Structure 1
């Protein structure tokens, strides 16, 4: 039986083609540039091609369909910086007869693969050989398609390889006046490859290596020196989009926020990244697949960076900038201050209402909700278990009016009639207010009981509706409780160790991030905490939950404070995270806080 794979490790440079400076190892780039007058590469815009490991692969199969046909041979060559690092070759038993026409084309017969390993043995070894390399193939959809189909049949998760297709690249770099077509044999002749393609996998992979190096040499003369630029050049990226890549050139390699602006300075898009320059550069490459982003890049004339001390600060600033500028190409939270809330109205006989503006009128609010639909679901859930009025007309305590059908169904106490049941209406309203303030176990328990009862009665659609209403209401109550708890704290300082050393320091006041900093590795954090506190923004106590900041910002702070490793340093007043019935219906939360240990 043949061995599953044949490995050949070598450090011998590819002998056929001169190495373009874009492929030269770092130690030789400067020398080559001086000798040939080639401009130095912009390494800071992406991964230099000299540092990229490519695995050039070729397959032979029993036919053209990855669903109906099988692999008969795999050949691959691993290269980096113009040098061959290793080779992979094996025949594969396809488990089916090889058609005669395929045997004539490839020279691979049934007898040759009879003792060869099956793909279940070969594929894991091949994936190990590839590792984290970039896959290259001539007509990549064919070869990669067969490999992915084999992985799917074997239940193997296909790694998210970056793939480079030399056919696509050649179509943009090789004209018909140079070669009659873009087949591998034609390109191998054009570029003088030492290996002639002959429909054997390893031979074709070696020829593709020479073609790849020649194409990289050509595209390098056009100013493409990084993997990201190469993928962009070979992908479906417009020339206008590629021309904008200079916008990323002078940006900082630091965490923070970036803003794309048009020629009038209008903000088109706001985003965040741990590395602003690297992230912005991807908008000009094939890795950016969103059509609206390509449209945005075409309009962009500048990028404004805002370096932030911590990822939390960057996320908060992104929220604030989106709310301030309402960029047309941001889909998330463009108008957070207009999100719906549920309010217990201030009337003679209060009711539930959906509002978008919060007022310091002493009313109880729950929310905000993602949509009016979610807010209405929460209101419907309350109406399922509490006999509150659902009409919107203004009622009088002295003038009676006729009751509606809900009173006949015992779903409303009908305060409009000023009858005997009216006296109990105030206690029902107070029960609701208590639920919104924190004591929600009774109301949510009633709704949960209703859901279970409907399910036991096999009224599953109604039970599902009750479940959705319970979820909307419990989340709104939980959010309102947690936000109110943090907005009630006048001053809070917390710290978390940074993965690269030092501490992330955050100062929050009334639910708003007032300051942030990061201490150097090994430094005493206390002077930095004192400086952060002294320069932090002054935030007044809110009259209503959303008066000082965006609710999304407070929720970001809450999530950060709830992560492992966060230490409370200073708290002015008391801060507690409610764990009532509403929180119990959601995911459990860790509430223990450890003392600071620098």
Structure 2
């Protein structure tokens, strides 16, 4: 079974913002180049300073032979001449040592003034010489200064101006090492400015975009009583109504960030004006916290959460249970034996998937009732176009129509090859005729269909299992969960030294009783089912007990997923 993707529509949250600034190794970098374009210009000098806890650890500097002529204007600016770099090593010799310097410590962040310029040149050099870019976290002192320094404090935010403002002992002079040394002191000055704003970690520093509001500063005390444990937090107003729900591995740390400069979402900053309390809910495992967050958001619909608030608004495609079934877009799943495709958060996507099925199977699109007493009606234009066999006037027999509806059922619940083949053939024809807009529409229909079919097939397989026990190693022990019919029924941690048999017996005995039900999501939302699936299929997870058969069709929708990539390429104009 392939790894499911994170559920669409589930809110994302910043997890533990947890690398203290005092424990972060900063490699402060500066480059001199032959021009401003990383695509055309080349590096002539590299300077870097490694610092941690305010102390300089070591330095890296070298001239670089760019292999091109240095323009006179660059020589006037930097003082680097052609003769100075003539005997210097070329970039292909410098780059491996520089990359090792940047990646020597796992808690390293790269710092530069106007960082996109320097990192852009390094990425281009890596691509040019066949080295992977290590992609360290980057702190831009230019952007940070613009966010932190008040209007009028400095006339601009150039490195020389900031060096004068913070009184750096080294004056920037457009030579790489001196500029890097000056940037070190500018960085330390900026860190001192953001400390009183509640910024104490690397992740918070990178998130700073503007100082916290007065309302945020005034609500810092709300984090004081929150435990340092994994779980869910609920912000409430003066009446106890829920304003926002989130989750974290460290509740106190995460709650505190809402009242610092690291929180830059406008709506959350506005929330600080009305929030009066925070309710922490400690959870045994990360999975339990994720599921509880989803359930609380769906139940309370807090106004400052944008996602996961309305799982009941999802759309499904249903093949109706009638004498002559048809495809219908519905909001609810019923116990009627009908197959369902989805869910879709977008009505447009649901209709695209429905059109994909109708392109492959000549099912009726009318709403006539054919159950006894049967009434003969005149066929519609779809019959004349050959897109429907016209069971309405008796042209198509029930047996012939049933063959089409059963094929559609198989495509929805089993092998979607008929839909895939219909669309790939048509996409190829349209793209060969340079009719790319029509090909793109067929591509979008196929993609929507396969997404919905993949979701419903995964969720149906999970929902059919009456009892699953699984575990995986965590920070405190083995994180163990009981899942019943797709719903998280219990979760706890087996700590070192505990009796595993007694632990499992207790966990299973106290787990929530969950009855079976119809459809892919009988006892949980689709988002919860996808979270549980992602956890169960993680390579670190081990199955302990399993009742029933956990299977998906051999030629399922996910087995055809690669066709969406092919279709995208064929439907795009070259």
TM-score tier after normalising by the smaller chain length? 0.7 to 0.9
416, 419, 434: which is aligned to 1:447?
419
Distance 1:136 1:448, change over 3 A: closer
Q: CA separation in 1, counterparts of 2:73 and 2:405?
A: 84
Q: In the alignment, which residue of structure 2 is the partner of 1:576?
A: 550
| 1:516 aligned onto 2:488 | no
- Note the 1:394-409 alignment, pairs <5 A: 394-395=369-370, 397-409=373-385
- Partners of 2:187 and 2:451 in 1: CA distance: 55
Which of 80, 85, 109 is matched with 2:57 structurally?
Answer: 85
1:424 counterpart = 2:399? yes
Q: How far did 1:106 drift? A: 3.8
TM-score, with structure 2 as normaliser: 0.77
In structure 1, the partner of 2:318 is: 343
Secondary structure at 1:368's aligned position in 2? strand
**Larger radius of gyration between Structure 1 and Structure 2:** 1
The answer to whether the aligner puts 1:529 opposite 2:501 as a matched pair is no
Retained in 1: the 8 A contact 2:30–2:180?
Answer: yes
- Structure-2 residue corresponding to 1:239: 213
* Match in the other structure for 2:513: 538
The answer (yes or no) to whether the contact 1:344–1:351 under 8 Å persists in 2 is yes
Q: 3-state DSSP class of the match of 1:555?
A: helix
CA contact (8 A) 2:324 2:398 kept: no
Decide whether the 8 Å contact of 1:258 with 1:271 is kept in 2: yes
Using the TM superposition, give the Cα deviation of residue 450 of structure 1 relative to its aligned residue in structure 2, in angstroms: 3.2
Q: What does residue 503 of structure 1 align with? A: 478
Which among 94, 97, 101 is matched to residue 125 of structure 1? 97
The CA deviation at 1:401 is 1.8
- The one of 65, 84, 87 equivalent to 1:115 is 87
1:350 aligned counterpart, secondary structure = coil
SS in 1 for 2:403: helix
What per-residue deviation string (whole Å, max 9, x for no partner) do you get for residues 271-293 of structure 1?
A: 33333344445555666665555
For the 8 Å contact 1:448–1:467, the answer to whether it is kept is: no
Q: Using structure 1 for the length normalisation, give the TM-score.
A: 0.75
1:557 to 511, 528, 532: 532
Q: Is the 8 A contact 1:45 1:277 kept in 2?
A: no
Q: 1:127 to 1:568 in 2, by over 3 A?
A: closer
Q: Distance in 2 between matches of 1:47 and 1:300?
A: 27
Shift of 1:337: 1.9
* Conservation of the 8 A alpha-carbon contact between 2:171 and 2:178: yes
1:86 CA drift (Å) = 0.4
**1: CA distance, partners of 2:156 / 2:408:** 76
**Residues 499 and 145 of structure 1: CA distance in aligned 2, closer, same or farther (over 3 Å):** same
Change (3 A) 1:526 1:137: same
- Distance 1:408-1:240 versus aligned 2 partners, 3 A rule: same
Alpha-carbon RMSD across the aligned residues, in angstroms, is: 4.1
1:272 aligns with 2:247: yes
Return the alpha-carbon distance in structure 2 between the equivalents of residues 388 and 479 of structure 1. 23
Shift of 1:533: 1.7
State the SS of the aligned residue for 1:399: coil
Instruction: Work out whether residues 268 and 304 of structure 2, in 8 Å CA contact, stay in contact via their aligned partners in 1.
Output: yes
Match of 1:315 among 271, 290, 303: 290
Return the match for 1:388 from 331, 347, 363: 363
Task: Tell me, yes or no, if the aligned pair for 1:57 and 1:76 is still in contact at 8 Å.
Answer: yes
Counterparts of 1:105 and 1:473, CA distance in 2:
59
Task: Please show how residues 145-160 of structure 1 align to structure 2 within 5 Å.
Answer: 146-148=121-123, 150-151=125-126, 154=129, 156=131, 157=133, 159-160=135-136
CA distance in 2, matches of 1:187, 1:478: 55
2:408 and 2:112 map into 1 onto residues whose CA distance is 66
- Change in Cα spacing, 1:98 to 1:474, as seen in structure 2 (3 Å) is closer
Query: Residues of 2 paired with 1:188 and 1:354: CA distance?
Result: 63
Q: CA deviation at 1:90?
A: 1.4
- Residues 344 and 208 (structure 1), Cα distance of their counterparts in 2 relative to 1, 3 Å cut: closer
Q: Deviations over 1:59-83 (max 9, x none)?
A: 4444566566544322222222232
Please give the per-residue CA displacement for 1:166-214, whole angstroms capped at 9, x wherever unaligned.
785499569979x887665666567665445444332343344445445
**Which stretch shifts more, 274-283 or 387-396?**
274-283
The range that moved more, 521-530 or 344-353, is 344-353
**Whose RCO is larger (CA < 8 A, sep 6+)?**
2
> 2:389 corresponds to which residue?
413
Q: 1:295 to 1:454 in 2, by over 3 A?
A: same
Tell me if the contact between 2:211 and 2:261 (Cα under 8 Å) persists in the aligned partners: yes
Q: Do the aligned partners of 1:447 and 1:466 also contact (CA within 8 Å) in 2? A: no
What is the match of residue 523 of structure 2? Answer: 548
Q: How far 1:256 sits from its partner (Å)?
A: 2.6
Task: Give 1:251 shift.
Answer: 3.5
- Tell me if the contact between 1:517 and 1:528 (Cα under 8 Å) persists in the aligned partners: no
Contact 1:381–1:447 (8 Å) recurs in 2: yes
Per-residue CA deviations over 1:325-350 (Å, capped at 9, x if unaligned) read 23344443332222112223344543
Q: Decide whether the 8 Å contact of 2:460 with 2:521 is kept in 1.
A: no
How far the C-alpha of 1:257 sits from its partner, in A, is 2.7
Kindly indicate whether the alpha-carbon contact (under 8 Å) linking 2:489 and 2:512 is maintained by their aligned counterparts in 1. Answer: yes
Unaligned runs of 5+ in 2: 1-15, 563-574
- 1-structure distance, mates of 2:535, 2:389: 44
Look up the match of 2:301. Answer: 326
- Tell me the secondary structure at the aligned position of residue 28 of structure 2: strand
Give 1:118 shift. 2.7
